[in-house]
Amino acid sequence: MRTAPVCPSPIMQHETVQMAHGAGGRLSQTLMQRLFMPHLHNAFLDLLDDQAKLDLPAGRTAFTTDTYVVSPVFFPGGNIGELAVNGTVNDLAVGGAMPMYLSAGFVLEEGLSLVELETIVKSVAEAARQAGVVIVTGDTKVVGKGQCDKIFINTSGVGIIREGLNLSCRNLKPGDSIILSGTVGDHGMAIMTSRKGLSFQSHITSDCAALNSMIAAVLDAVPAVHAMRDPTRGGVAATLNELAVSSSVGIEIKETSIPVKPDVRGACELLGIDPLHVANEGKLVISVDAKNAGTVLEVLRSFEYGRDAVIIGSVVSDHAGMVVMETAFGSRRIIDLPLGEQLPRIC
């Protein structure tokens, strides 16, 4: 008589990921059938073919990829599973595409708790449902203990590009308004303050969210948006610099107009980090002709994830390729890219 289940979650005969789960044998099948498929199954994955066969509607197709290596994998406001879905959904949406299909490639470390893995897979499934995308193909690999850090997830995505748009980081025009959809630095500082060794008493949570519905509404209202980016790794500073360089224009922003939550500002000051360099996972930077800026703001503010949207600056013909900020004290300084890392593994 068995007196106790082998695993707290009665899905598998082991409690942790084994090398054998990745070897293509019977245990690989078990992991797939008992842990992944109950949450992710759909008409595409159920076929168990090596590739999904998609009937894409007419139009140009957007294709993007990102590997997520965030540490810790569970952080205030989310986990690596929803981050991996939302990040790729947003990368498609900011290009003017309707995100449709995602792939998911998991690298699992031997010894990873199966309960944790199932929680992450559930988050992948739930985030996909919320964003209205389907995980149509996948892959799972297992590496030995100490050969990865718990779990890495690659998601690649396919979407259909809306007609009549011309979004590009090369399309900024002098006179554009630069709009930011909300507070900066929430994701990066949520990760930083949840790391071992840092014991902030903070309530900072990640802004990790899928923005495709909000973006679609903005583009419905103003198809003439010039450029849209999600300021993830490198933060708003990196995004603005890329836009300025790609379009050979200058960008001027006002420090006082940039929304930063007090907790985030405090943590940044303590760590000596500029919030403009901190990653966001649910924010947009939009460049649009000033005459359309009001409409874009109105649409953004009608959404939960855009309620704090503001104009933070404008595009100028001076100092091409450079981002200049008017500080709270009235002085001007160049907002450059950081040389190296301040915040490793935030996505």
- Binding positions for a second copy, 178-207, rule CB under 8 A: none
> Distance between CA 250 and CA 254 in Å, rounded?
14
Among residues 246, 258, 314, 250, which one has the least CA distance to residue 286? 314
Which one among 10, 24, 262, 330 touches a second copy, defined by CB under 8 A? 24
Give the residue with the Cβ less far from a second copy, 168 or 257: 168
Task: Return the number of the residue (20 or 115) whose C-beta is nearest a second copy.
Answer: 20
Question: Which parts of 239-268 interact with a second copy (CB under 8 A)?
Answer: 242, 246
Query: Between 155 and 174, how does the x/- string for binding to a second copy read (CB under 8 A)?
Result: -xxxx-x------xxx----
Per rule CB under 8 A, is residue 138 in the interface with a second copy? yes
For 304, counting Cβ atoms within 10 Å of its Cβ (0-12 exposed, 13-18 middle, 19+ buried), the class is exposed
Q: Are 189 and 276 in contact (CB under 8 A)?
A: no
Compose the 66-105 pattern: x for residues touching a second copy by CB under 8 A, - for all others: xxxx-x-------------------xx-xx-x---x-xxx
Near a second copy by CB under 8 A: residue from 5, 25, 174, 294: 25
Q: Which neighbouring-strand residues pair with 161?
A: 97
Q: Is the dihedral of CA 45, 47, 51, 53 positive or negative?
A: negative
Instruction: Please choose, from the candidates 183, 297, 267, 279, the residue with its C-alpha nearest in 3D space to the C-alpha of residue 232.
Output: 279
Nearer to a second copy, 234 or 313 (CB): 234
Chain centroid, CA 213 distance in Å? 15
In whole angstroms, what is the distance from residue 179 CA to residue 223 CA? Answer: 15
Query: Residue 9 or residue 28: which is nearer to a second copy going by CB?
Result: 28
48 to 67, contacts with a second copy by CB under 8 A? Answer: 48-56, 60-67
* Rounded CA separation 336/38 (Å): 47
Among 35, 83, 98, 107, binds a second copy (CB under 8 A): 107
Q: For the segment 320-339, give every residue that binds a second copy (CB under 8 A).
A: 336-339
- DSSP letter (8 states) at residue 117: H
Site for a second copy in 283-322 (CB under 8 A): none
Return the number of the residue (57 or 330) whose C-beta is nearest a second copy. Answer: 57
Nearest residue (CB) to a second copy, 49 versus 318: 49
SS3 state of residue 79: strand
